Structure 1
Amino acid sequence: MSARTSLGTLAGVVGFLAFVEFTSGILQGYYTPMLTNIARHLEIPDADVNWLEGTQLMLSALVVPALAKLGDMVGHKRILLVSTAITAAAALVLPFTSSFPVFLAAWALMGFYVVWLPLEIALIWSRARSLPGRSGITAKAAGLLVAALESGAIIGALVGGALVDVLPLTVVLLIPALAVVACFFVVLWGVRESPNPTGGRLDTVGLVLISLALLALTGGLSLLRITGVENAFSWAVVALGILLVWPFAVWELRQPDPLIDVRMFRSPSLGPVFLTAGLFGVSVLGAQAPLSTFARTDPAVYGYGLGTSGFQTSLIIGIYLIAMIAGAVTYPTVARLLTPRVALIVAAVLVGIGFLLFLPFHAAYGQLITNMVIVGIGSGALVAALPAAAASAAPPTQTGVATGLTNSVKTVGGAIASCVFGIALLHGATGGTQSTAGSFTGYVTVWVVCGVTALIAAGLLVFVPKDAFRDAAASDPAAPADASTR
Structure 2
Amino acid sequence: MVELQGRFARKGGRALGVTASLIGFLVLVEICSGIIQGYYIPLVPDIVKHLGIHDADFNWFEASQLLLTAIVVPIMAKLGDMYGHKRILLIATVFTAIGSWALVAADSFWVFLGAWAIQGFFSVWLPLEIALIFDRGRRTGSAAGDTRRAAGLLVVALELGAILGALGGGRIFEALGGDVPTTLAIPAIAVTLVFFVILFGVRESEPLPEKRTLDLTGFVLLSINIALITGGLSLLRLNGVETWWVWIPIALGIIGFWPFGRYELKQKDPAIDLRLMRQSRMWPVQLTAGLVGISVLGAQVPLSTYAGTPRENGYGLGLPAGQLSLLIGAYLISMIIGAILFPIVSKRATPRIALIASAISVAVGYLLLIPFHLEVWEVVMCMMIAGVGSGALVGALPAAAAAAAPPGRTGIASALTSTSKTIGGSFSSAIFGIVLIGGAATTVTAGASSLAGYMTVWAVCGLSAAVAVVLLLFVPKLSFSDAPEGGAPDDGASEGGAPAEAAPAEAAPEGDTPADAR
Deviations 1:444-476 (A, max 9, x none): 432222112111212223344455556769955
Counterpart code for 1:317: I
Q: Distance in 1 between matches of 2:159 and 2:290?
A: 21
Contact 1:19–1:183 (Cα < 8 Å) also in 2: yes
Question: Helix, strand or coil for the counterpart of 2:370?
Answer: coil
3-state SS of paired residue (1:201)? coil
Determine which structure has more spread, i.e. the larger CA radius of gyration: 2
User: Which residue, 208, 211, 221 being the options, matches 2:223?
Assistant: 211
- Residue from 172, 178, 189 that aligns with 1:168: 178
In the alignment, which residue of structure 2 is the partner of 1:88?
97
Corresponding letter in the other structure for 1:275? L
Do the aligned partners of residues 37 and 353 (structure 1) sit closer, same or farther apart at CA in structure 2, a change above 3 Å counting? farther
Q: In the alignment, which of 70, 84, 89 is matched to residue 79 of structure 2?
A: 70
Letter aligned with residue 229 of structure 1: V
Q: How many residues align?
A: 470
User: Shift of residue 262 of structure 1?
Assistant: 1.5
Task: Tell me how far apart the structure 1 counterparts of residues 517 and 112 of structure 2 sit (CA, whole Å).
Answer: 39
The one-letter code of the counterpart of 2:278 is R
Q: Of 52, 61, 79, which residue of structure 1 is paired with 2:88? A: 79
With over 3 angstroms needed to count, the CA separation of the structure-2 counterparts of 1:475 and 1:10, relative to structure 1, is closer
Q: CA deviation at 1:221?
A: 2.3
The offset of 1:278, in angstroms, is 1.1
**1:246: which partner in 2?**
258
Q: Counterpart of 1:264?
A: 276
Q: Is the 8 A contact 2:281 2:476 kept in 1?
A: yes
| Cα gap change, 1:33 to 1:457, in 2 (>3 Å) | farther
Letter in 2 for 1:412: I
1:231 matched to 2:243 = yes
Quickly say closer, same or farther: Cα 1:392–1:84, change in 2 above 3 A.
Answer: closer
Distance change in 2, residues 1:190/1:202 (3 Å): same
**Structure 1 stretch displaced more, 165-174 or 342-351:** 165-174
Which runs of no fewer than 5 residues in structure 1 stay unpaired? 480-486
Matched, 1:299 2:307: no
Deviations 1:5-31 (A, max 9, x none): xx9999666544432222112122333
Task: For 1:40 and 1:370, locate their aligned partners in 2 and report how far apart those are by CA, in whole Å.
Answer: 36
Per the alignment, in what secondary structure is the counterpart of residue 257 of structure 1?
coil
Q: How far apart in 1 are the matches of 2:137 and 2:479?
A: 29
Q: CA distance change for structure 1 residues 351 and 447 in 2, over 3 Å: closer, same or farther?
A: same
Answer whether contact 1:353 1:375 (CA < 8 A) is retained: yes
CA contact (8 A) 1:273 1:390 kept: yes
CA distance in 1, matches of 2:78, 2:314: 50
Q: Is the 8 A contact 1:332 1:477 kept in 2?
A: no
Give the 3 Å change call, closer, same or farther, for CA 461–12 of structure 1 in structure 2.
closer
Q: Kindly provide the amino acid, as one letter, of the partner of residue 262 in structure 2.
A: V
Change (3 A) 1:75 1:327: closer
Whether 1:449 and 2:466 are equivalent positions in the alignment is: no
Change (3 A) 1:44 1:291: farther
1:160-201 CA distance string (max 9 Å, x none): 365567763715433222211222344445556656587633
The separation in 2 between residues aligned to 1:430 and 1:393, in whole angstroms, is 49
Equivalent of 1:200 in 206, 212, 236? 212
Q: Secondary structure at the match of 2:213?
A: coil
Q: How many Å separate the matches in 2 of 1:249 and 1:84?
A: 31
> Which is further off, 275-284 or 15-24?
15-24
1:328 and 2:362 are equivalent in the alignment: no
- Counterpart for residue 499 of structure 2: none
Q: Is the 8 A contact 2:74 2:412 kept in 1?
A: no
Cα 1:45/1:435, change in 2 over 3 Å: farther
> For 1:381, which of 386, 392, 395 is the aligned residue?
392
Any gaps of 5 or more consecutive residues in structure 2?
Answer: 1-12, 484-489, 491-512
Equivalent residue, structure 2, for 1:280: 292
Separation (CA, whole Å) in 1 of partners of 2:312 and 2:94:
43
Partner of 1:222: 234
Deviations 1:344-391 (A, max 9, x none): 333212212212233343344333322210111111232343334444
Q: Check 1:465–1:412 CA distance in 2 against 1; reply closer, same or farther (3 A cut).
A: same
Query: 1:307-365, CA deviations, whole angstroms, 9 ceiling, x for partnerless residues?
Result: 54544333323322221222232234444555444433332122122122333433443
RMSD: 4.0
Q: Which shifted more, 100-109 or 390-399?
A: 390-399
Please identify, of 200-209 and 264-273, the stretch whose mean Cα deviation from structure 2 is larger. Answer: 264-273
Q: How far apart are 1:216 and its partner, in Å?
A: 1.2
Q: Which residue of 2 aligns with 1:119?
A: 128
Aligned mate of 2:354, from 343, 364, 374: 343
Any idea what SS the aligned residue of 2:120 has? helix
How many Å apart are 1:153 and its aligned residue? 2.5
TM-score (ref. length: structure 1): 0.81
Conserved? CA contact 1:274–1:405, under 8 Å? yes
Q: CA-to-partner distance for each residue in 1:259-310, whole Å, 9 max, x for gaps?
A: 1112233323432222111111111122233323443x45279776445454
Out of 399, 404, 421, the position equivalent to 1:410 is 421
One-letter identity of the residue aligned with 1:261: D
Cα distance change, pair 49–118 in 1 and its aligned pair in 2 (3 A): same
Deviation at 1:61, TM superposition (A): 2.1
Q: What is the SS of the residue equivalent to 1:259?
A: coil
CA distance in structure 1 between the aligned counterparts of 2:154 and 2:469, rounded to whole angstroms: 29
- AA partner of residue 369 (structure 1): V
Please state how far the C-alpha of 1:213 moved relative to its aligned partner. Answer: 0.7
Question: Is 2:70 the partner of 1:61?
Answer: yes
From the superposition, tell whether residues 105 and 26 of structure 1 become closer, same or farther in structure 2 (CA, over 3 Å).
Answer: same
Q: Contact 1:33 / 1:292 at 8 angstroms: preserved in 2?
A: no
Deviations 1:396-451 (A, max 9, x none): 7755543333233222212222233333344444599x976666554443222211
C-alpha contact (below 8 Å) 1:361/1:367 kept by paired residues: yes
1:188/1:38 Cα in 2 relative to 1: closer, same or farther (>3 Å)? same
CA distance 1:141–1:228, shift in 2 (3 Å): closer
| 1:152 lines up with 2:161 in the alignment | yes
